[in-house]
A and B are shown apart, each in its own frame.
Chain A
Amino acid sequence: MLRGRSFVGSGSLFISELSVLFRRRRTWAMLSTISLIPIFLAIAVALSGSALPPGEGPPFLDRVSQNGLFVGFTAMIMAIPLFLPLTVGVVAGDTIAGEASTGTLRYLLIAPVNRAKLLFVKFLGAAAFSIAATFTLMITGIIIGVILFPVGPVTLLSGDVVSIPQALLRIFLVAIYVTISLLGLSAIGLFISTLTVIPVGAMAATVVVSTVSQILGTLPQLESIHPYLLSYYWLGFADLLRNPMDLGSMASNALLQLSYIAIFGSLAYSRFTSKDILS
């Protein structure tokens, strides 16, 4: 199971990691399930036929039947709390522990691959999956929306209307925003993955971290720590749907996720470089 990873450069190591990740059936199963979210959502709205009164159901759901471009936004809101963190948790939790459990980690490190470089590449792999997941969801959303519903200029949260190309740009930015939101969790998953040789344990623990963060975020008694929670800005992508566009929360979110990457990335580094690889 060396999978041709005798390359030294991290570029080729990354390409090899990507090809392993995206050749796995599990990855494709998760991406297909993600694409089912907007599809089910759109079909349900199309079949129900009756227009939903505004303010009922998840945000934007009432607008889906008027404008298919909203399918992606609504699906994103539904996928952020559980489904996206779940899939990212699976990929990030598997990074090191997965190799350890199948016994390939040893061989990887016998080849002249620096442990830090391996960690970095594993993190990039998890990040690549986050990009694939958010864009799969958004692009499927657009396609199914265009098929089932009329499509036209999009009404922003501020009540102003933007043209379709403008709306697509914002959809693109929302997907980027959500990808950034998942990077901190990827770093946490990577760290947890260095702690164990049982991948399922690391995956579950990563998902638990994301859930705990969201639960803490709903407790008003803990208001003072809310801005430091991993999930604090997760729903802040709504700021990209205002007029004028508010990039403030995008920047704050990036800074927060970067802090998590710095802390858990270095924890993972310290743990991984100082541990004995037995399997």
Chain B
Amino acid sequence: MNRTFVRWTPAMLAPVLVAAAAIGFSGQASAVVDLPNKSASQILAMINTNPDISFSGTVIKRAAMGLPPMNIIPDISQSMVDSMSKNMPKEMVDFIPKASAQGELALALEFLAGTHKAHLYVDGTSKVRVQVLDLLSERDFIRNGADIWFYDAGKSLVKHSVINPADEAQVRSEADNFFNTNESKLPFDVTSPAQVADYVIKQAGPYATFTVGSDARVAGRGVYQLTMTPQSTTSLVRSATISVDALTGLPLAVAINAVGQNEPAFEVTFETVTFETPAPALFAFTPPVGATVQEVAVPTQQDLMKYTGKAPSPTDEKEAIAQLEKLREQGWSAVLEIPADKVPAQFSAGIKDNKLFTELTKPVAGGRVFTTALLNIFIADDGRIFVGSVTTQRLLEVAAQ
């Protein structure tokens, strides 16, 4: 009896030791940090004071937007979905994707759901490389000075654009000009980040409160946590927290919490970060042999006008400004209304029969709503669209007015 007990001791101890090691490992990461105290405004002023920073790290994005439960498999065609539902036995019906999503739509849905991991390499403002780590695949976005590359390993596709330095300089000088002529009208001194931060917090006062959380650790570095809580009963946003690296001012984590949900609805966090200049070779990209290379022209101002059909007229601009002002007054309860005549025709025409649309939205009186944890959209039967980070209830009230 006793001997048997002794012999089974290792079998009982091993799981405990493994669990203890796992917990100890994660406990180490969240060891208590104590940083010099700072006010909300001081933390805000720290952010991005040095845009010329170089670093590399691994970033995790988690989204729990509460999309309706469904099987949407990106990048398979609707005909494949249809043939699957015809051929599969009835018992398997739960496993058949309900609708397909392709191209930009698939990307958008992917962004709104699930977890993604990316490597990030930044050297100053003009050299950036983002590697989205997919399972057995990868998507790379590289900016190296004037060159912009996109590489999709799964499709073996390269997209390349060249920024015209003259264009960039022009945009910059226009912005500078606008800024310089209007600087004196601003109610704060722009050269002082502290004053800007004070102003932002003061202005936000009626709508939100800023609180400084306890010092924490993100990616092994001490961070200040600044939390903004909206003062609104109809807003879907419960709070938003930004974690700012105490030494460099780089935001290392952002989490947006939704009402009625414990885990953050959207979260981006550095898992690891080092503040060293990444190897220059990382930004020098040559399209691999065998990949399809597409040259994509950077859209110019003229192209953008072509897309919208016409240059904005003074009345359009006035309308837009009035609309914005209206939104600002409503604070967190803001609802954007898109009148039926402003909704692109192909959207309102095709959408009624679109399976993905019916799958993603649910019917309510007078239309359909698309519900996520942070944003609701009401598409009225009369063609109007209402968008807001507010409850469905409020959207319907605004629509009824």
Q: A55-B155, A160-B285 are in contact. Are A155 and B17 (CB under 8 A)?
A: no
> Is A49 interfacial (CB-CB < 8 Å)?
no
Q: Which residues of A, 243-265, contact B by the 8 Å Cβ criterion?
A: 243-244, 246, 248, 259, 262-263, 265
- Contact: B288 with A271, CB < 8 Å? no
- In the assembled complex, the Cα of A74 lies from the Cα of B145 at a distance in Å of 36
- In the assembled complex, the Cα of A155 lies from the Cα of B288 at a distance in Å of 6
- The segment from A13-21, A58-66, A95-103, A137-145 that touches chain B is A58-66
**Interface residue from A160, A238, A270 paired with B10 (Cβ < 8 Å):** A270
Q: A159-B291, A274-B7 are in contact. Are A235 and B135 (CB under 8 A)?
A: yes
Give min CB distance, B113 to chain A, whole Å.
10
- Contact: A54 with B135, CB < 8 Å? no
Q: Closest A residue to B115 by CB, please name it.
A: A223
Q: A55-B154, A244-B282, A273-B7 are in contact. Are A267 and B14 (CB under 8 A)?
A: yes
Q: A266-B11, A271-B11 are in contact. Are A157 and B18 (CB under 8 A)?
A: no
CB-CB under 8 A from B313, the residues of chain A are none
> Is B110 interfacial (CB-CB < 8 Å)?
no
- The segment from B36-44, B136-144, B326-334 that touches chain A is B136-144
- In the assembled complex, the Cα of A54 lies from the Cα of B156 at a distance in Å of 6
Secondary structure call for the B interface = mixed
What per-residue 1/0 map shows which CB atoms of A51-92 lie under 8 Å from chain B? 000110001001100100000000001000000000000000
- In the assembled complex, the Cα of A266 lies from the Cα of B16 at a distance in Å of 12
Q: A269-B11, A273-B7 are in contact. Are A54 and B289 (CB under 8 A)?
A: no
Secondary structure call for the A interface = helix
- In the assembled complex, the Cα of A77 lies from the Cα of B21 at a distance in Å of 31
CB-CB under 8 A from B266, the residues of chain A are none
**Interface residue from B15, B154, B156 paired with A263 (Cβ < 8 Å):** B15
- In the assembled complex, the Cα of A262 lies from the Cα of B15 at a distance in Å of 8
- Contact: A59 with B18, CB < 8 Å? no
Q: Can you list 24 A-B pairs, Cβ within 8 angstroms, ordered by A? A: A54-B155, A54-B292, A55-B155, A63-B156, A66-B289, A159-B149, A159-B151, A159-B288, A160-B288, A161-B286, A238-B137, A242-B138, A243-B282, A244-B282, A248-B58, A259-B21, A262-B17, A263-B18, A265-B14, A266-B10, A267-B11, A267-B14, A270-B9, A274-B3
Binding site for A on B (CB under 8 A): 3-4, 7-11, 13-15, 17-18, 21-22, 58, 75, 119, 131, 133, 135-138, 140, 149, 151, 153-158, 279, 282, 285-292
Binding site for B on A (CB under 8 A): 54-55, 59, 62-63, 66, 77, 152, 155, 157-161, 235, 238-239, 242-244, 246, 248, 259, 262-263, 265-267, 269-271, 273-274
Since A59-B136, A159-B288, A259-B22 are in contact, a sample of 12 more A-B pairs with Cβ atoms closer than 8 Å, ordered by chain A residue number, is A54-B154, A55-B75, A63-B156, A155-B289, A155-B291, A159-B287, A161-B286, A161-B289, A242-B133, A262-B18, A266-B11, A270-B11
